[in-house]
Amino acid sequence: MQDEAERPCWLCERPLGARIEWHHPVPKSRGGRETVAVHPICHRTIHATFANAQLARDFASAADLRGAPALAAFLRWIDGKPPDFHAPTRGVRRGR
C-alpha cells in the first residue's frame, strides 16, 4: 500500500503534505461513498466554489473539476506551492 504522503492530491496533483482531508467526489448527501485524498486548501476551494448538487451532477471526476473555469485560476495559483501551504479560502457558492 502506498504511503498517503506519497500520493498526489486528487484535485491539484501536487504531493500531499502532513495534513490530508478526504473528499467525496459524489457528496455523501447525494449517495457518494468513495473518498479521495486532497489538501485542506483544495477541499475548501471545491466546496466554496460548487454546491453538492453541482458536484454530483457535473464534477464527480478530478478531470471534470480541473477543467472547470471556476477553478482554473486557483489551480494555476496553487501549482508549485509546498504541500502544506495554507491560505484563507475565498469563494462564492453557486447554484445551491
Whether the per-residue pLDDT at 55 is higher than 60: the answer is: yes
Whether the per-residue pLDDT at 41 is higher than 70: the answer is: yes
Every domain of the chain and the residues it spans: 4-78
Whether the per-residue pLDDT at 54 is higher than 50: the answer is: yes
Contact assessment for residue 26 and residue 3, using Cβ atoms and an 8 Å cutoff? no
For the whole model, what pTM was predicted? Answer: 0.86
Contact assessment for residue 7 and residue 83, using Cβ atoms and an 8 Å cutoff? no
